[in-house]
Amino acid sequence: MATTEDELAKKQVQEAVWTWSGRVIVLAVVFGFGFFAAWILWGVGLSGAPPAPRAQEPSGRH
């Protein structure tokens, strides 16, 4: 009787560990893809972001 309860408890712990491991892996993949997409789309990947245009100084001053 005690062994079946121990086996049941062990199985429940294993299922909980696998469940949470899967959740952590999915979360890591989602965040990893998000960072990669942001790096490619907004950071322009390996070449870096293009330089910002320089503001022109007003020419009306003498």
The pLDDT value recorded for residue 55 is 78
Does this model's pTM top 0.75? My answer is no
Residue range of the domain that includes 23: 13-41
Cα dist. 23→1, 5, 16 in Å? 33, 27, 11
For the chain, what is the domain count?
1
Residue 49: inside a domain:
no
Residue 53: inside a domain:
no
The pLDDT value recorded for residue 40 is 81
Instruction: Transcribe the chain into DSSP letters.
Output: -HHHHHHHHHHHHHHHHHHHHHHHHHHHHHHHHHHHHHHHHTS-GGG-PPPPPPPPPPS---
Residue 58: inside a domain:
no
Q: Tens of pLDDT along 11-53? A: 999 999 999 999 999 999 999 999 998 888 877 766 766 777 8
60 pLDDT higher than 90:
no
The pLDDT value recorded for residue 54 is 82
The pLDDT value recorded for residue 42 is 77
